[in-house]
A = this chain, B = another copy of it.
Amino acid sequence: MVSNEFYFDARGEKERIKRAYEALKEERESKRVGYYNLPDDREMVQKIKDFCDNSEFIQNEMQNIVVVGIGGSSLGTKAIHSMLLHRRDKRINLFFLENPDPVDIEKILNRKSKTRRVKRYNTFFIMISKSGTTIETTSIGKFLMQEYDFKLDSWAFKDQSAIITDEGSPLDKLANEYGLNVFHIPHNVGGRFSVLSAVGLLPLYMAGYDIEALLEGARAMRDDFFERKMDDLVVKAMFYVDNKDRYPMNVLFSYASEFKHFNEWYVQLWAESLGKIDKDGNRVGLTPIHLIGAIDQHSFLQLIVQGPLNKTVTVLKVKDFENDMIIPDISIPYLEKTNFVNAKEFQELLNAECDATVQSMIDQNVPVDLLEVDRLNEYNAGYLVMYFEILTSLAGFFLNINTYDQPGVEFGKKILRKRFGAE
In the complex, are the beta carbons of A347 and B102 less than 8 A apart?
yes
Question: What is the total number of copies of this protein in its complex?
Answer: 2
Chain B residues with Cβ under 8 A from A101's Cβ?
A: 255-258, 294, 321, 346-347, 350
> How far does the alpha carbon of A105 sit from the alpha carbon of B323 in the complex, in Å?
11
In the complex, are the beta carbons of A100 and B415 less than 8 A apart?
no
Write out, one digit per residue, whether chain A residues 221-248 have a CB within 8 A of any chain B CB (1) or not (0). Answer: 0000000000000000000000000001
> How far does the alpha carbon of A21 sit from the alpha carbon of B411 in the complex, in Å?
40
Please judge, given known A-B contacts A307-B276, A333-B177, A408-B305, whether A340 and B422 are in contact too, CB under 8 Å. yes
Report the contact-size class of chain A (Cβ under 8 Å from the partner).
35 or more
Chain B residues with Cβ under 8 A from A295's Cβ?
A: 70-71, 98-99
Main DSSP-derived SS at the A contact region? helix
> How far does the alpha carbon of A127 sit from the alpha carbon of B164 in the complex, in Å?
46
Smallest CB separation, A78 vs chain B (Å): 11
A309 contacts B by Cβ under 8 Å: yes
> How far does the alpha carbon of A271 sit from the alpha carbon of B146 in the complex, in Å?
45
Chain B residue, CB-CB nearest to A104: B257
In the complex, are the beta carbons of A145 and B328 less than 8 A apart?
yes
Write out, one digit per residue, whether chain A residues 130-167 have a CB within 8 A of any chain B CB (1) or not (0). Answer: 00110110110011011000001000000000000000
The chain A residues found within 8 Å of chain B, CB to CB, are 70-72, 75, 85-86, 98-107, 132-133, 135-136, 138-139, 142-143, 145-146, 152, 170-171, 173-174, 177-178, 191-192, 248-249, 255-258, 267-269, 271-272, 274-277, 283-285, 287, 289, 292-311, 321, 323-328, 330, 332-335, 337-338, 340-342, 344-347, 349-350, 352-353, 355-357, 359-360, 363-364, 376, 406-409, 411-413, 415-417, 419-422
Question: What are 12 A-B pairs with beta-carbon distances under 8 A?
Answer: A100-B294, A101-B256, A102-B321, A132-B334, A142-B330, A271-B299, A271-B302, A287-B289, A302-B407, A341-B420, A357-B412, A360-B408
